[in-house]
Chains A and B, each alone.
Chain A
Amino acid sequence: MLKDVTIGQFYPTGSIIHKLDPRTKILLTTAFVVILFFINNLWGYLAAFLLLGVIILMSKIPVGYILRGIKGLVLIILLTVILNLFMTPGAVIASFGPVNITLEGVKIAVFMALRLIFLVIGTSIMTLTTAPIDLTDGMEWCMKFIPFVRRFAHELAMMMSIALRFIPTLMEETDRIMKAQKARGANFETGNIISRAKNLIPILVPLFISAFRRADELATAMEARCYRGGENRTRMKQLIFARRDVVAFVVMFLMIAGFLATTIINIPLLFPL
């Protein structure tokens, strides 16, 4: 189950997509996602499909690996499709007892499914090609342009980066505590939901205590290393836009222009509207 979720995982291949500045990727992905929700014809989806295809090829990440990300979301996609299929009023093309399938329903269902799939693939590409810590740095930079959030940009980024640092440590810790309680005869495998939930207490309590102890010690260590928030702080690694980023932005503008063209001109395809 968990291993199927590819969002948030990093898959290093050293491709040109990987080398793009994280800020470029964040901005492009955001633009892509926004556009995705305004596309209202198949030409648009076709263009989005081609764009994703090219980027995936350039990223050198196995297509199967990216598609695994959709597997985890199959339920949500199916639910959306079914809801749209049966709940949209319009010209009835088939009926099963009290429920009707309409032409508009089919169209919206297909669009919604494509939208979700493209959304997942698009964001997966960003996370798969960007090391989490670079992503954090990129987000910190981007947050500086959002009013209100700006004030917390450094703190949020620091929190994210510490979380990234400690996730593996806490995973190991969970494993160790679980084994230690199993060795004391704890049983996590059988029983009903309530008893299973109760059985988690011997894991959760030590885990929380340990997390708090770690947080406390880390805070002391950070203070001892002169940490005092984001003010006057410098960074060793500076984010620098390169030529490839300029190219990427050109692609983004073409993407936006193309989208505007298809929605305004509205070239009819399968579903004239």
Chain B
Amino acid sequence: MPVEIKNLTHIYSQGSPFEFQALDDINITIEDGSFIGIIGHTGSGKSTLIQHLNGLLNPTSGTVIVDGMDIFAQKKSELIQLRHRIGLVFQYPEHQLFEETVHKDVAFGPKNQGLTEEEVDDRVRNSIKMVGLDYDEVKDKSPFELSGGQMRRVAIAGVLAMEPSVLILDEPTAGLDPRGRDEILAQIKTMHQKNKNTVILVSHSMEDIGKLVEKILVMNEGKIVYFDTPNRVFTEIETLEKIGLAVPEVTYLMRRLKKKYPEIREDIFTVEAAKNEILRVIRG
């Protein structure tokens, strides 16, 4: 399900003294089955952009075309149908949990889709497993007696259970400890490889994004700065710094090492890759 964003502009409180242009003529196409990272400092328009992708916000002008369908030209009921196929996991999604049991909460989405009870059960079971929790152990627990990291997973499972073709995650690891962060990112990666769905990951962490995605969308002041592979984006250190972003430490290191080893590659952003590249140039 390709997602095409066309001339998308969004202005908050237009005509009031608080008028704020959050998106300025955005044009991109997200290919079916791709893994995209969106990066940009707070207020760059990331959140506004992703809320247009499933019609939670209406554009001031421009549109989003999903699977050949202009989502803002649809009737309310069709828009709701469409939302079933574009899953959006908000920041701190555990704050949306409300049911008495984990099972019921995860079932909320699929039930809204009008699935049969068996289908719902299947989906719930699968998605809870997918986020790395033991279904039988947690299904009857109240979501509120779980740890912070577990609540986060249950909330993500609640969106996964809708089996969206496009999954958008807004900073899914915010506030987690390093282990919780690594586990959730690993699960997202596994799920993407298995289901071949489109994944859009919004993150502040260049390290995380660099490890996972195929293409990075860099945003600043409502505009697209780059939409390219990590290798290309991370070598633009000056521009990234100018818009308040930083590249992973190892990328800075490679640049520094260039003085001594002119043949060293600069498009490196993981410790693993840095190790291999350093070994290559040192050992010759």
Contact = CB atoms under 8 A, between A and B. Distances in A.
Interface in A81-119: none
A176 interface: yes
A183 B98 contact: no
A202 interface: yes
A180 B96 contact: yes
Nearest to A176: B90
A201 interface: yes
B112 A183 contact: no
Chain B binding surface, main DSSP class: helix
Interface residues of A, number: 20
A177 B96 CA distance: 6
Contact of B144 (A176, A181, A209): A209
B50 to A, nearest CB: 10
A156 B90 CA distance: 36
A186 B159 CA distance: 12
B78 to A, nearest CB: 13
A182 B56 contact: yes
Contact of B158 (A177, A184, A187, A201): A184
Nearest to B97: A206
A203 B29 CA distance: 33
A187 B112 contact: yes
Interface residues of B, number: 23
B54 interface: yes
A184 B123 CA distance: 14
Interface string A170-192: 00010011011111111101100
B93 A201 contact: no
A205 interface: yes
A210 interface: yes
A181 B90 CA distance: 10
B196 interface: no
Contact of A185 (B56, B83, B90): B83
Nearest to B155: A180
B40 to A, nearest CB: 19
A184 B112 contact: yes
Given A182-B83, A183-B159, A202 B93 contact: no
A190 B51 contact: no
Contacts of A186: 108, 112
A179 B112 CA distance: 15
A21 B4 CA distance: 57
Contacts of A176: 90, 95
16 contacts: A173-B95, A177-B96, A179-B90, A180-B95, A182-B56, A182-B83, A183-B54, A183-B87, A184-B159, A185-B113, A185-B162, A187-B80, A190-B76, A202-B96, A206-B95, A209-B144
